[in-house]
Amino acid sequence: MKNFIEIKKTLASNWFKFLQEKIVEEFELLEKKYKKKKFTKREWSKDNKKEGGGISYLLEGGGLFDKVGVNRSTVSGIFKKEFRSKILGAERDGKYWASGISVVAHMKNPKIPAVHFNTRFIVTSKEWFGGGMDATPTFHDEKEKKNIHKKLKDVCLKNKKNYQKYKKWCDNYFYLPHRNEPRGLGGIFFDYETKDWDQNFKFVQDLGITFIDITKEMILNKIKSKWNTVDKEKQLYKRGRYVEFNLLYDRGTKFGLNSGGNTESILMSLPPQAKWK
């Protein structure tokens, strides 16, 4: 049984490695058309190197991307006692192993939504997949919204997943209660997928490829859209909401900080600029 879990860990972490490299490659090809900026690569490890680390790719100040981070990590350890009750299967001894990928892209053109994607495989005394994808536009575009949701619905149906459940979960999760407003147009969000490992792993893989497809299509449809300083100002205020959510409510941020993750990589999701009134 132990060897079987180790095989699962290897398969999952190898997939996240492949997907990270694929996303970096695809995003650099898109950026190349405008400013030829490239990602910078940074490797990090936990204080106890036996507990793993990660690789972060960051591209800033591009012609297409204001800032985009593509992070991957594989870490293990023991959760702090006060955090154990918040993690499935960690209540007894706090031991964990986790591998995953996280992507956040903030666009230069305010007409193109910011995008967020992550998937992860976590092992405590339980084991499960989690993740999702969502988009945060500054300007409402109903056609774009329907297209994103259609593609996410298709990948869920293809893998016999409950799209409506995941959509509702996303709507409830990416919500700012202190503002009484959603963060963006939604998407899908899921966690604690413990049954049928093979099916869940396939879904996580298909979702990663779907994220690339959705993002590329969204960018190519909007990249020539004209914008001005008023539009940019509006985008910066919208980014303020993004910052509020990530620092106040985001599970990934809390998990990363409580599992000894790299602070710079965890906070890479924050936009390069934001404003508040």
Q: How far is CA 156 from the centre of its chain?
A: 17
For residues 111 and 117, what is the distance between their CA atoms, to the nearest angstrom? Answer: 19
Active-site residue identified among 106, 116, 140, 178: 116
Closest-CA residue to 203 (of 270, 119, 265, 127): 119
Asked if 116 is an active-site residue, the reply is yes
Q: Which residues are catalytic?
A: 116
